[in-house]
A and B are shown apart, each in its own frame.
Chain A
Amino acid sequence: DQQVKQNSPSLSVQEGRISILNCDYTNSMFDYFLWYKKYPAEGPTFLISISSIKDKNEDGRFTVFLNKSAKHLSLHIVPSQPGDSAVYFCAARAQLGLSFGAGTTVTVRA
């Protein structure tokens, strides 16, 4: 049962433009949401998070938006840079641990 879904397996964006990654979840008990970034041959690294009591969190070029009523969150990367090319995982936390989405592969074109 996939409680966290990333329906877009890939995203291609031009350098300097905005990247928008989407994530949907089904479990209303999730209280904390995170985004991780993964390069090939490396483990995922934490990028940004948001508590369920907030609707927006910003950190430099990265902004995460949470719409609890729609059970939807998104990650905006502005402006996109070549080093942002990676796999991005959405994750949600409930009492018994983190559930991850399947990931979205972002390719930033020069």
Chain B
Amino acid sequence: EAGVTQSPTHLIKTRGQQATLRCSPISGHTSVYWYQQALGLGLQFLLWYDEGEERNRGNFPPRFSGRQFPNYSSELNVNALELEDSALYLCASSRDSIDPLHFGNGTRLTVT
């Protein structure tokens, strides 16, 4: 079974630009979660999608947005990038609310 895949692995952007991060969940998983791990911090919850709908979002500004496609893959978009957006962005998927989250290896976003 293929795991959660994220692309790109690394992304370098300049301040003010937009970044798009992609995630493909494990086959059969309908829920996708996005987390941010900034240097020295834990995993901060960003967004949760299930069956194509946004179920919950964390305490992040509206320039963090995303969507889930009919095939359950997902995109995370970050507009008007700021230096403090530099972090590891992790995507996770699950079958349902009981199933533990299965994480991808993340996208390392660097904003210069």
Contact = CB atoms under 8 A, between A and B. Distances in A.
Nearest to B106: A43
A78 interface: no
B93 to A, nearest CB: 11
B48 A46 contact: no
A100 B42 contact: yes
A83 interface: no
Contacts of A89: 42-43
Contacts of B101: 44, 46, 98
Contact of A44 (B43, B44, B45, B98): B43
A93 to B, nearest CB: 8
Given A96-B48, A97-B48, A43 B56 contact: no
Interface residues of A, number: 21
Contact of B90 (A44, A93, A97): A44
Interface string B90-106: 10100001101111111
A45 B103 contact: yes
A46 B102 contact: yes
Contacts of A99: 45
A64 to B, nearest CB: 13
B72 interface: no
Contacts of B106: 43
Nearest to B4: A43
Given A43-B90, A100-B43, A101-B42, A34 B105 contact: no
Given A96-B55, A97-B56, A102 B105 contact: no
Interface in A71-104: 89, 93, 96-103
B25 to A, nearest CB: 13
Interface string A29-48: 00010101000011111100
20 contacts: A36-B103, A42-B105, A43-B4, A43-B90, A43-B104, A43-B105, A43-B106, A44-B101, A44-B103, A46-B100, A46-B102, A89-B42, A96-B56, A97-B45, A97-B55, A98-B45, A98-B101, A100-B44, A102-B41, A103-B42
